[in-house]
């Protein structure tokens, strides 16, 4: 069986003042083929420094910083991030990390928050 992992944005701005811009930063990095790397750096290094920190992360990742900075400053991905958040909420995602496990029938089961592997395994097994 195949498994696909698709990232969607779910910034919890009520808990993290820089969550929105962090989500946008990963999308801007994605323009240069470094979405996952920026995603990982944001989780490892944190988001407390806001836009200044995100621009530093872009430099560390070897991105074209002028392109990245312009993208982030422009708000280019504000609507896309908002669309992802709304879509997640509409299917039952309530926190991060959040997952939707979808079976071959196209029906999904949401999993919100950090959960042990057996939670995922039970859902996956029920969809096979």
Number of neighbours of residue 31 by Cβ within 10 angstroms: 15
Q: Which residues, other chains included, contact 3 with Cβ-Cβ below 8 Å and sequence gap of 6+? A: none
| Tokens matching residue 111 | 């999993």
CB neighbourhood size of 74 (10 A): 11
pLDDT tens sequence across 15-30: 889 999 999 999 999 9
> What b/e readout covers 87-100, taking b as 16+ CB neighbours within 10 angstroms?
ebeeeebeebebbb
In this predicted model, what pLDDT tens digit does every residue of 88-99 receive, in sequence order? 999 888 888 888
Pair of tokens at residue 23? 């989500």
Coil/strand/helix, residue 92: coil
């Amino acid at each position: 069986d195949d498994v696909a992992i698709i990232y969607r944005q779910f910034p919890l701005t009520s808990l993290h003042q820089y969550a929105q811009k962090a989500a946008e930063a990963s999308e801007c990095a994605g323009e240069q083929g470094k979405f996952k790397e920026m995603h990982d750096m944001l989780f490892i290094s944190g988001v407390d420094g806001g836009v200044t920190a995100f621009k530093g992360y872009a430099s560390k990742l070897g991105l074209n910083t002028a392109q990245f900075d312009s993208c982030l400053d422009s708000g280019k991905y504000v609507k896309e991030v908002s669309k992802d958040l709304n879509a997640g909420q509409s299917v039952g995602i309530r926190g991060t990390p959040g997952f939707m496990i979808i079976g071959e029938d196209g029906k999904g089961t949401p999993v919100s928050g950090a959960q042990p592997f057996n939670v995922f395994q039970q859902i996956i097994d029920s969809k096979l």
